[in-house]
Amino acid sequence: MQNHLLIGGFFLLACQVQADGRDISPDIGIVSFNNSKMQMSTTKNLREENVLICSYARKHCDAYSGCDFSSEKTNDAVEDAVDGNKMYTYSYNGANRHGSQLNTSIAFISYGGEIKVDDVKFNGQRSLIINGKRFRDIFEYCTKSEGVNVVSRSGDVHIYYFLGYEVEANCSDEVYK
């Protein structure tokens, strides 16, 4: 049974600033579909956070609550390529608002809704700009021969999701640095 990909990096907002005053990227994960069930993989806990899933195809974001997700389990198909942290997958308990789309989406996760719909701008086909009060960054996705990369321009975040089947590669060499 093949999983359908909605990709999405989802970003857990740490709301921290480095000593030099530069904003840092939030943590991210991947949003995918398994048998039309929406799932998110991340290194973080989703208990009380707010989740904002933004669809490239629809150029639209939908808000969710972290408590609407359950079934935490480890996921070896997703890798934190920066820090090597374990990834956990959560299933969405409610009705799927996105259908079983094969398009790319990114989910931003924050405590207290620190990322708003107005903070997210769609930039081309494969990137989103986050310009909020607490941090700023650009997140891009691209495909490798059998997987998907979600990377922040700042270099603080890089998640790889192994699909298990061939896809057309479109990542630049910079993604692998």
Residue 103: predicted pLDDT: 56
What is the Cα–Cα distance from 127 to 142, expressed in whole angstroms? 9
pTM of the model: 0.75
Distance CA 9, CA 158 (A): 9
Tell me the sheet residues that pair with 17.
Answer: 23
Cβ atoms of residues 61 and 117 within 8 Å: yes
**What is the domain partition of the chain in residue ranges?**
4-170
- Cβ atoms 87, 74 nearer than 8 A: yes
| pLDDT score recorded for residue 26 | 64
pLDDT at 94: 81
Going residue by residue through the chain, which has 177 residues, state the pLDDT in tens, using 9 for 90 and above: 444 444 444 433 333 334 444 445 666 778 887 777 888 888 877 777 888 887 777 788 888 888 888 877 888 888 888 888 888 888 888 876 655 555 557 777 776 677 788 888 998 777 888 887 777 888 888 888 888 888 888 888 888 888 888 989 988 877 766
